[in-house]
Amino acid sequence: MNRKWPYITAILVLAVMLLMVATRPDAKEHHEAVAEAICNNMENTFGIDLNSKGTKKIMTSLMDTDNTLGFFANDVFGLGTDIKVTNYGLVSVGRLHGRKVISLGAFGHVFTFSDDVLNDYIESKVDDLPGPIRKMVKKAMKDDDDD
């Protein structure tokens, strides 16, 4: 039996671990990924296209911004305070209100999951939306319930 294999295996495992540490996403990347997931959920579940010209026009008039994703992430949903990101060395984990795991970061990518949690989060934030967007979301949610 070749005595080099345990050393080669140990070196490969160490290399993978170092790669994981070096490419672990930070809190900002978690917030961006969750914001994108929220926007996708609003589009898929409620039929609201946050990148449409009409929505961007409303955003620009309300908030002086055409960065829809940033607007929703920071100004409407308050992801900076609602999502806590914990660094576990090899991976990072995003938790909604410190409890429900909503994102996992590894190898330079943030994976989001649990559409139900995202939809509940969207519904809890509807009243914080600016007037025209709130009406649009509530109408879409009502239409979705009617189906």
pLDDT tens digits for range 92-113: 999 988 788 989 999 999 999 8
How far CA 36 is from CA of 4, 12, 39, 134, in Å, comes to 46, 34, 5, 19
Q: HSE on the CB side for 13, CA within 13 Å?
A: 6
d(CA 83, CA 100): 9
pLDDT at 99: 84
How far CA 37 is from CA of 54, 69, 101, in Å, comes to 21, 10, 14
What's at 140, amino acid-wise? A
How far CA 67 is from CA of 10, 64, 73, 91, 132, in Å, comes to 46, 9, 10, 29, 17
Residue 29 makes CB contacts below 8 A (sequence gap 6+) with 105, 110
Across the chain, how many H-helices and E-strands are there? 7, 4
Give residue 117's pLDDT band: very low, low, confident or very high (50, 70, 90): confident
Which helix H or strand E contains 136, and what residues bound it? Answer: helix 131-146
Task: Tell me if 110 sits within 8 A of 104, measured CB to CB.
Answer: yes
Task: Give pLDDT tens digits for 20-41.
Answer: 999 999 988 888 888 788 777 7
